[in-house]
A and B are shown apart, each in its own frame.
Chain A
Amino acid sequence: MSDERKLSRAVRITKWLVSGPPFVYLLLFFVAPSIIMVLASFRYPGEFGGLAPLATGDPATLQGLTLETYQFFFSDVIYGYVFFKSFLVALATTLICLLLAYPLSLLIARSPKKSRDLMVLLVILPFASNFLIRVYAWMIILGPQAAFSQAVNGLLAALGVAPVHLLFSPFAVLVGMVYVHLPFMVLPLYTNLEKHDPALLDAAQDLGANAWQRFWRVTFPLSLPGIFSGSALVFIPVLGMFAIPDILGGTGDMLIGNLIKEQFLGTRDWPFGSTLSIMLTIAVLLIVWVAARLGGRRHYA
């Protein structure tokens, strides 16, 4: 064998040695489970939870493949309603995050270079504490005996409105969602805003644009790619979130995630749980597609 061929063989072997192990691991523990979930959605539920056997030979038991779970999903409006509600919560969370993140990102991007890193770090730092702790903190603040609740209800009483319960409400869910996902909006937005050339604003000013026009006609359009990637990073995890409604919400605040959790761990109807998960996956893919199209178009504009 010539040296050339020996070398190219060595390169090929190295390629497989390096990419093989992670490839096999993810094939086994990510791709295979995903395929199993698709298959499970076409099965019957087992008598004691889980999946019914594919074939038993006994014609009395449910077996084989079925579209029943999908028919069930579309036959009852309650599931469509939960999806719609989750979508609204995700949309509201995304908009509030954008509203809070924009001025902060703008300030960081316009700060002197040496203080920017610290300001970004200060945004990430609380995000590094455990997710449950961040949700739990709002249980304390919104609890009926806490100063915040007392103040809100005092204000409402002064206005002659009946007191409200802040904890275990849709409001609490929304606050928790915004709190947990805010950094996902700040980081891409800041990364975008930081790249803007300040000369553009000077030019706009020289041409007679006031502060509002400079923002609305220069900064904002240029920041759209950052807005779209930040929005996707907030919208997607919120859509599938079950823990925040579970902890901060009341019994009526079920979202898709809670529905899926209930099927897998509560009623143990795994085929229907798989169907719901696949519907969620389709919803996520649609959002990614829309975000990519919106973001992509702006690049050429």
Chain B
Amino acid sequence: MRRGPWLWAAALAVYAFLYLPLTIVVVYSFNDSRLNAEWVGFTWHWYEVLLHDEEMLLAAGNSLFIAFVSSLVATLLGTMAGIAMHRYRLKSLTFMVLTPVAMPEILLGVSLLLFFIQVLNLTLGMLSIILAHITFSIGFVAVIVRARLAGMDENLFEAARDLGASPWETFRYVTFPLILPAIVAGGLMAFTLSIDDFVITFFTAGVGVQTLPLRIYSMIKIAVTPEVNAVSTLLMLLTLTMIVLAARFAPDVLKGKA
């Protein structure tokens, strides 16, 4: 294979570009200095600050609750959508599932803001955030489930029917066990997307509720301390765990994600 030294050098430079910034964030989370400028010495101080930051802990709790509820509902609806898209080829449903994923996030954020306030007369808060998160998560779950279904042998379902299984039994004993890894991977993906979402949450949260990304945003905008580095490092660990889990349940998901 043709892999010259120039190709290697360029590729390694890009890998360095990808990893260096995040490494700096992690390293400075252990730095005994208020400034993110030079290495002074090792400390756990910023993690202790984090543990006593009531607002941050509250925001983390909110984020986990929102991610749990929204990913649960989105997994159910997304799985149904994935099956429907595969089996019935409904063009309108496919359009509705994929467009929110492909559009700039801000458009979904502001249109939901308008809708919640002007039409539903809803006070922005936990509920509006959860409803918004479900909307953008459905697409990701549906795409993963559909990809799994598309890769399966149709003869399996045929065989089940020939053996006298009802549509429900075919689903319960053949389809469901086969797509379960994709459902789990989709659910983990929805959970991660919800925990991480900033833009759509920013528009649908109102003033009363803070999530982790919203809290990080206001810290970055107002006063940067290495506490941001500490919470970032912990958040990276959490996401990493989710990815490892997703990869174990559905190894093909990571490859075909885009």
Contact = CB atoms under 8 A, between A and B. Distances in A.
- A and B part of one assembly: yes
Contacts of A33: 108, 111-112, 114-115
Contacts of B199: 242-243
Given A26-B138, A145-B35, A133 B97 contact: no
Interface string B7-21: 110110011011111
B36 interface: yes
Contacts of A288: 102
Interface residues on A, range: 35 or more
Contact of B167 (A11, A179, A237, A257): A11
B36 A146 contact: yes
A129 B235 contact: yes
Nearest to B236: A129
Given A36-B119, A133-B236, A136-B25, A22 B167 contact: no
Contact of A37 (B87, B111, B224): B111
Given A133-B22, A182-B18, A277-B111, A19 B84 contact: yes
A177 B117 CA distance: 31
A77 to B, nearest CB: 23
B132 interface: yes
A104 B90 contact: no
B17 A107 contact: no
Interface stretch (B46-54, B149-157, B177-185, B213-221): B213-221
Given A22-B97, A270-B114, A137 B24 contact: yes
A131 B235 CA distance: 11
B22 A187 contact: no
A139 B224 contact: yes
Contacts of B134: 25, 29
Contacts of A136: 25, 216, 220, 224, 228, 232
Contacts of A270: 114
Contact of B198 (A36, A131, A146): A131
B254 A121 contact: yes
Contacts of A146: 36-37
Contacts of A26: 93, 96-97, 100, 135, 138
A91 interface: no
Interface in A124-173: 124-126, 128-141, 143, 145-147
Interface string A1-41: 00000000011001100110111011101111110110010
A247 interface: yes
B167 A10 contact: yes
A270 B236 CA distance: 36
6 contacts: A19-B81, A22-B138, A25-B77, A133-B25, A147-B37, A211-B2
B138 A25 contact: yes
Contacts of B32: none
Given A128-B240, A130-B216, A277-B107, A51 B14 contact: no
Nearest to B6: A103
Counting chain B CB atoms within 10 Å of each CB, the highest count among A26, A104, A182, A277 belongs to A26
A239 interface: yes
Contacts of A124: 254, 257
A247 B213 CA distance: 13
A188 B22 CA distance: 24
Contacts of B20: 141
Contacts of A134: 21-22
A247 B22 contact: no
Counting chain A CB atoms within 10 Å of each CB, the highest count among B11, B167, B235 belongs to B11
